[in-house]
Amino acid sequence: MKKLRIATFNINGIRARLPNLLEWLEREKPDIVCLQELKALDKDFPAAELESVGYGAIWHGQASWNGVAILARDAQPLESRRGLPGDEDDSHSRYLEAAVHGVLVGCLYLPNGNPQPGPKFDYKLAWFERLIDYAQALQASDHPVVLAGDYNVVPTDMDIYNPRSWLKDALLQPESRECYQRLLDQGWTDSLRHLYPDERIYTFWDYFRQHWQKNSGLRIDHLLLNPAASPYLSEAGVDAWVRNQPHPSDHAPTWIRLASRKRR
């Protein structure tokens, strides 16, 4: 398999953060990127600007909310699915899937679920159930698969600076964590946690109360690997410097590196 650097980044408005995105792409040169929260219609997606720095793209936009995209360096992603199966009435742009550089990549933006309890939390759990059902077949594939995105789940208390401050938040509810664990129980590998089981690593810092300055973060952006992909995992990390740019997203890009040969 080709050596690959694969990243996920909740951009929180692609038009507003486009300079930050382009700077990051040119500096870090990821091979595959999953973007969430485009907050833009399909016609407003900056395909030409991305092409100018060497990235082909597919996208699934939506006005003001949601929106996902997959970028590929020096390649064009081959779309295989748009939207999760299981609810024909769900119009949210939250899932996009493509074959690129020899890997099948699912880009997802899981519902936030706040406030909970309530209909938004119910929708989060229903969407999670659809993901779990669909992921089962992907997990069993002989082809390398990566499910990357903003899962809006803090898997354990190790993944948050202070769980007491977020006890009522949908991201920490037992039901949310149980759904995430069910994905892992299928055989998916949480890349970053697999390589760094005991480190506090964050991917999101709220805009409020100086959370970035105090490193009061959460880990909610994940890259899950199926058994066909996990033996190639060699590195993982967070490009936290992006969070310190002017007018940043409240997330930082999270990435993995897959080696060209299986690790022993």
Is 211 annotated in the active site?
no
- CA angle 224-35-220, nearest 5°? 50
Side chain identity, residue 234: S
Residues 249, 11: Cα–Cα separation, whole Å? 6
CA atoms 125, 136, 195, 244: torsion sign = negative
Q: Inter-axis angle of helices 174-186 and 119-139, to 10 degrees?
A: 10
Is 42 labelled a binding residue? Answer: no
Q: How many CB atoms lie within 10 A of CB 142?
A: 8
Is 251 annotated in the active site?
yes
Is 10 labelled a binding residue? Answer: yes
From the candidates 150, 159, 190, 221, give the one annotated as an active-site residue.
Answer: 150
Strands ordered across the beta sheet of 78-82: 78-82, 95-100, 103-109, 145-150, 221-225, 189-190
The token duo for 182 is 């069910």
Q: Strand 233-238 to strand 254-258: parallel, antiparallel, or no bridges (unpaired)? A: antiparallel
Side chain identity, residue 129: E
Is 215 labelled a binding residue? Answer: no
Is 97 labelled a binding residue? Answer: no
Is 194 labelled a binding residue? Answer: no
Is 109 annotated in the active site?
yes
Residues 260, 262: Cα–Cα separation, whole Å? 7
Q: Strand 145-150 to strand 103-109: parallel, antiparallel, or no bridges (unpaired)? A: parallel
Is 251 labelled a binding residue? Answer: yes
What is the torsion angle, in degrees rounded to the nearest 10, for the CA atoms of residue 170, residue 188, residue 242 and residue 235? 150
From the candidates 55, 109, 180, 202, give the one annotated as an active-site residue.
Answer: 109
Binding-site members are 10, 37, 150, 152, 250-251
Binding-site members for Mg(2+) are 10, 37, 150, 152, 250-251
Would you please indicate which residues are annotated as catalytic (active-site) residues? 109, 150, 251
